[in-house]
Chain A
Amino acid sequence: MIPELGHFALALALALSAAQAVFGLWGAQRGEARLMAAAPPLAAGVLLAVAVSLGCLMWSFAVNDTTVMNVVQNSHSAKPMLYKLTGTWGNHEGSLVLWVFILALCGGAVALFGRDLPSRLQARVLAVLGLVTVGFLAFTLGTSNPFERVWPPPLDGQGLNPILQDPGLAFHPPLLYLGYVGYAVTYAFAIAALIEGRVDAAWGRWVRPWALAAWAFLTLGIALGSWWAYYELGWGGYWFWDPVENASLLPWLAGAALLHSAIVVEKREALKTWTVFLALLAFGLSLLGTFLVRSGVLNSVHAFANDPDRGVFILLLMMAYVGGGFALFAWRAAAMAPTGVFAPLSREGGLVLNNLLLCSIAAVVLVGTLYPMFADLLLGQKISVGPPFFNMATFPLVVPLLAAMGVGPMLPWKRARLWPVLQRLWWAALGGMAALLLALALSGWRVLPALGFAAGAWLILAAATDIADRIALFSRPRAAWARARGLPRAAWGAAVAHAGVGVTILGLAGMGLAQEKLTLMRPGDAATLAGYTYRLEGVEDVTGPNWTARRATLTVTRDGREVTVLRPERRNFPVGRMVTTEASIHTNWLVDLYAVLGEERDGGAVVRLHHNPLAPWIWLGAAIMALGGGISLSDRRMRVSAPAAKLARGQAPA
């Protein structure tokens, strides 16, 4: 019964979201207040129905209902409850339901928090979200029904890929989808503006919180995936430029450009056409990622198993949303006259440079990701585009971006002079130089990591200088506290996010100095890496809920003092007959001591040891970036649409 209820709820959601789309669009077009007023409750209804459906699916997984095909294919009774639940979205069908649920969540959020938007805008935004929901619900129900039954039920399920049974990966998809789907909202705002035929400062102000929220979630989602790769895949790597990773990076880059250009729209009413384009692009790239993962056209470790029929459906959906959006853009964007004029050297100019560089990086990643596919299709040539290409091609774009990131926030609007700003950044530049020289000297003249240390130090110090400057920390220290409290949260958020980028860059630079040792150890043997001594105490059998493992015990000492005990494992999952390695990691936040257990032979065990300086800073920096986004999001300005819209409504008959 429960699966049928879930199935029915999905169908109901389809009907409700269709109504949401029709009422919203028609009502806004005709100016019928009553029709428009129906959109928010309908969005709430869609959210409720999809929530029920997702709940039913999770329940089926929780009780291991083997009459449900999806459960049989992706779960097993011996799996821990957490992974039974999160396994709901560890497969194509279930992850689609999660996708739609988050989409409905966004619709609900617009219905709830957007009460103070102009009703016509809100109705159109909800309508567009409804249209997107309709498409994905139709896709789910038509090609990927998660509630399909199987009869007679098999005794048990086939299990979930063991490397996915991990807390990091369990919550990676929801965060990632909050990012991807969040861009559906900015997309909807862009479509509404195109229909309306105007974009103004208020529009920029309304779009920005959504762009910020989506970007912050996407940052966390990507970071979680990268962290998972770091500790679970067991090679100490954290980013592989895999097409699916790139697919998540693309909307992140476009979204970062969007949230910066939206500032220019809000403050100066310039870059309007461009910002609308970015809003369309960010969601388009999210959809592209979805298409690439689910259609089977590419070759990736992450891709879901899939068939071309689904690929065609999702391609048509993507073409409808992206093509429709761009067609509307081509038709209507010309009507949006820009107004603000600014000098090239100004805050706006800096943000334009930011957009140029971010979009160029996105172009490189996009072209590099799609190139092998199109070279195969059009030229019949099989080529690979891998990490060496991406590192080399993005490097000349990232360097000026990082350099400019320190300066940009300190430029005044409209017209600036560079020299006074550079003078104020003197200390930050000096700090960067000092980091460069220090790193060069200490690392034995390894240039690339040293450049990374310089860039990281520069970004953090420049962000600190910016804040110190604004609160007049040095010129009028007594008033600084009051000024700090009065400083808009958006300024704090920007500084924190930029410093977060600096922290991540420091982590990447530290990983550039990583050391590694592969060795065969017998119990009692010791190996030394980067000043730490690892002694193998022994290897023993352990048993987990759905696995058995060999576990090594390594005592780590430095200068004779015990630092930690590492216990790497090789787990054997009998369901699915897979062996995974569980790295054991000890961190003191300055360095990760990382051990992996390999085969056992000749009375010993193969152990790989990694010494990863500053590794945790990569993800710490990402968390700080997301925090910066959150701080910015809490800015009062983000909520001032309320009084402004109420003011307008006072004159309206609605």
Chain B
Amino acid sequence: MSARLPEGMERGGGTAPPEAPPRNPWRRRALLLAPLGLAAAAGLGFLGMLRGLRTGDYDPRGVPSALIGRPVPDFVLPPLEGSGRPGLAAADLRAPGRPVLVNFFASWCLPCVVEHPMLMRLSRQGVPVHGVSYKDRPADSLAFLRRHGNPYDRLGVDEPGRVAIEWGLYGVPETYLLDREGIIRWRWAGPLTEEVLRHDLEPLLRRHA
């Protein structure tokens, strides 16, 4: 293949060392193929991640809750004065007898405004929804509920945000689903939307009803 231009790389008088009889040609071949195999495997993995990014199966930012399958942590939260709802404590959630939602929100959180109509709807449908106001001044929380409606049966105030850490919360809004025995079954980080309700929450509510 290299006879036409006798220069540079091609000189050497064709005295390339004679091929030594490889003792184990297959092992060497496998070794030479290894980089290709590894790169291909990694490539397929990356492709899987990119597909997952689109379908939602792969989310580098999502953090799963460590509390799934466990009973609610111990806590007692005072009520929000003026909301007319009692406060929230672990005892209220230990064996509710039916699936219950616990929603963490704050008045300064924009996505909480976005998801609020969903909570109102769930509440109207008779799903018990309890709320925890997270790192929010009580007056602001109250104003928020006056303006957007109050879907909560019970409402605790967690101004220092300490109870939220018992729940493993890492942002607001977050919504937890508890089954009849008070075991945490599902956690949604981010606003509840029509899609989330239809694809995730409603089937779960039916399953645990």
Seen from chain A, the residues whose Cβ lies within 8 Å of a Cβ on chain B are: 29-31, 33, 117-121, 196, 198, 200, 202-203, 273, 277, 280-281, 284, 291, 295-299, 308, 311-312, 315, 318-319, 322-323, 326-327, 329-330, 333-334, 337, 339, 370, 373-374, 376-378, 382, 645, 648-649, 651-654
Contacts and interface: CB of A to CB of B under 8 A. Distances in A.
Contact of A308 (B35, B36, B54): B54
A524 to B, nearest CB: 33
B8 A299 contact: no
B9 A120 contact: yes
Nearest to A653: B5
B11 A648 contact: yes
B29 interface: yes
Contacts of B63: 382
A323 B50 contact: no
Interface stretch (B12-20, B94-102, B135-143): B12-20
Contact of A370 (B1, B35, B42): B42
Nearest to B6: A652
Contacts of A120: 2, 5, 7-10
Given A117-B8, A296-B60, A382-B63, A322 B53 contact: no
Interface residues of B, number: 43
27 contacts: A31-B2, A33-B5, A118-B9, A120-B2, A120-B8, A120-B10, A121-B9, A198-B9, A277-B35, A291-B46, A296-B53, A308-B54, A311-B46, A315-B46, A315-B47, A319-B39, A326-B36, A330-B29, A330-B32, A373-B45, A376-B58, A377-B48, A377-B49, A382-B62, A645-B8, A649-B7, A651-B7
A312 B3 CA distance: 42
Contacts of A315: 43, 46-47, 50
Contact of A299 (B17, B42, B60): B60
B9 A284 contact: no
Given A120-B9, A311-B53, A337-B19, A299 B61 contact: yes
B149 interface: no
Interface of B: 1-12, 16-17, 19-20, 22, 28-29, 32-33, 35-36, 39-40, 42-43, 45-54, 58, 60-64
A121 B28 CA distance: 27
Contacts of B45: 373-374, 377-378
A648 B43 contact: no
A67 B3 CA distance: 57
Contacts of A202: 8-9
Query: How would you classify the secondary structure of chain A's contact residues: helix, strand, loop or mixed?
Result: helix
Contact of B35 (A203, A298, A326): A326
Contact of B7 (A280, A295, A648): A648
Given A120-B2, A308-B50, A312-B47, A297 B60 contact: yes
Query: Of B7, B40, B42, which is in contact with the most chain A CB atoms at under 10 Å from its CB?
Result: B7
B39 A295 contact: no
A651 B9 CA distance: 13
Given A198-B9, A334-B32, A29 B1 contact: yes
B20 A118 contact: no
Contacts of A200: 9, 12
A234 B48 CA distance: 37
A297 B42 CA distance: 13
Query: Of A119, A202, A308, A327, which is in contact with the most chain B CB atoms at under 10 Å from its CB?
Result: A308
Contact of A119 (B7, B33, B35, B50): B7
A284 B47 contact: no
A53 B63 CA distance: 42
Contact of A297 (B6, B10, B11, B53): B53
Contact of A648 (B8, B51, B62): B8
B135 to A, nearest CB: 17
Contacts of A327: 36
Contacts of B29: 330, 334
Given A329-B32, A382-B63, A297 B17 contact: no
A79 to B, nearest CB: 27
B33 A330 contact: yes
B60 A311 contact: no
Given A334-B29, A373-B60, A323 B6 contact: no
A272 to B, nearest CB: 12
Contacts of B46: 291, 295, 297, 311, 315
Nearest to B7: A652
Closest 7 pairs between A and B when the two form their complex, measured CB to CB: A118-B8, A31-B4, A299-B60, A652-B7, A326-B36, A297-B49, A326-B35
